[in-house]
């Protein structure tokens, strides 16, 4: 199923079936290649420019012409979240899914991703860390991060 947005939010077209996204070619550019290579290595990249850190990494800094790619290390925190109880067809999920906007302190932007946490324990400010697929399964995509999980306290 796909949703196509026209000019207004209320003008959404619902399309049954499957989009053949693998037919589209996306050229990531030099910065995108470095971000993809970092994901394969189990790292998340951002761009630092003009004294700011932007997540996700952008090809060009919004305030300047060029920024520096840097590894983004935690602690990652939940900035906002939602709990999903139904699939897009209205069928109840076996287990609720937590989807969150994740960021680090002082950075602009963030990543939207799954969080493997009990819905009763999720909260804004919860510290989380990424869980990557096994190295041999990574392809340089954001889905190389399976999910984020709460940081275990020792």
Distances 136 to 34, 42, 143, 144 between C-alpha atoms, Å = 18, 11, 14, 10
- Which of 151, 139, 72 has its CA nearest to residue 115? 151
What does the pLDDT read at residue 15? 61
3-state secondary structure of 142: helix
Contacts of residue 51, Cβ cutoff 8 Å, sequence gap at least 6 = none
DSSP code of residue 144? G
Residues 26, 28: Cα–Cα separation, whole Å: 6
Reported residue count of the chain is: 154
For the domain 25-150, what is the CATH superfamily, name and number? Nucleic acid-binding proteins (2.40.50.140)
Two structure tokens written together for 70: 């840097």
pTM across the whole model = 0.77
| pLDDT < 70 regions, the chain | 1-29, 60-65, 153-154
**Per-residue tokens: 60:** 């060009």
Per domain, the residue ranges of the chain are: 25-150
Q: Is 36 helix (H, G, I), strand (E, B) or coil?
A: helix
């Amino acid at each position: 199923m796909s949703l196509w947005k026209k000019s207004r939010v209320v003008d959404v077209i619902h399309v049954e079936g499957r989009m053949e996204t693998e037919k589209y070619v996306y050229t990531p550019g030099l910065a995108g290649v470095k971000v993809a290579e970092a994901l394969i290595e189990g790292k998340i990249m951002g761009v630092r420019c003009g004294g700011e850190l932007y997540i996700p990494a952008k090809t060009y800094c919004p305030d300047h012409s060029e920024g520096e790619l840097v590894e983004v290390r935690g602690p990652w925190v939940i900035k906002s979240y939602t709990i999903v109880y139904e699939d897009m067809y209205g069928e109840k999920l076996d287990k609720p899914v937590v989807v969150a906007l994740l960021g680090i302190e002082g950075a602009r932007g963030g990543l939207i991703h799954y969080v493997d946490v009990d819905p009763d324990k999720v909260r804004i400010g919860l510290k989380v860390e990424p869980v990557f697929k096994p190295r041999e399964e990574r392809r340089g995509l954001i889905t190389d991060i399976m999910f984020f999980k709460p940081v275990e306290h020792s």
